[in-house]
Amino acid sequence: MNRLLLTHTVSRSAADELREALAEALPAVTVEHPRTEDAFRESLRDAEAVVSARFPEELLDDAPELEWVQALSAGVDSYPRDALAERDVALTTLSGVHSEPVAEQVVGYLLAFERGLLTGMHQQHRTVWERYSGGELMKKTLGIVGLGAIGTRVTELADAFEMNLLGVKRDPSTNHGVVDECFGPDGLAEVCERSDYLLLACPLTDETRGLVGREELRLLGEDGVLVNVARGEVVDQDALVSALQYHVVGGAALDVFATEPLPADSPLWDLSNVILTPHMAGSSPKYMERAATIVAANYRTLYENGGTKAHLR
Ligand code: NAD
Nearest CA to ligand 1 atom 25: 95
- Ligand 1 centroid – CA 39 distance (Å): 33
Q: Is the pLDDT of residue 82 over 90?
A: yes
Determine the atom of ligand 1 nearest the C-alpha atom of 203: 32
List the catalytic residue out of 54, 115, 194, 279: 279
Q: Is the pLDDT of residue 168 over 90?
A: yes
- Ligand 1 centroid – CA 110 distance (Å): 19
State the number of CA atoms in the 13 A half-sphere of 100 facing the CB. 7
Mean pLDDT computed over 47-63: 95
SS3 212: strand
Say what the pLDDT of residue 175 is.
Answer: 82
- Ligand 1 centroid – CA 137 distance (Å): 24
- Ligand 1 centroid – CA 117 distance (Å): 28
In this prediction the pTM is 0.89
Predicted ipTM? 0.99
Q: Is the pLDDT of residue 310 over 80?
A: no
Kindly tell me the burial class for residue 157, based on how many C-beta atoms sit within 10 Å of its own C-beta (0-12, 13-18, 19 or more): middle
Kindly tell me the burial class for residue 269, based on how many C-beta atoms sit within 10 Å of its own C-beta (0-12, 13-18, 19 or more): exposed
Mean pLDDT computed over 175-185: 93
Mean pLDDT computed over 186-213: 97
Q: Is the CB of 290 under 6 A from ligand 1?
A: no
- 202, 255, 275: residue to mutate for ligand 1 pocket, most atoms within 8 A of CB: 202
Q: Is the pLDDT of residue 187 over 90?
A: yes
Mean pLDDT computed over 278-295: 94
**Per-residue pLDDT tens digits for 224-280:** 999 999 999 999 999 999 999 999 999 999 999 999 999 999 999 999 999 999 999
| Nearest-angstrom CA–CA distance, 252 and 232 | 12
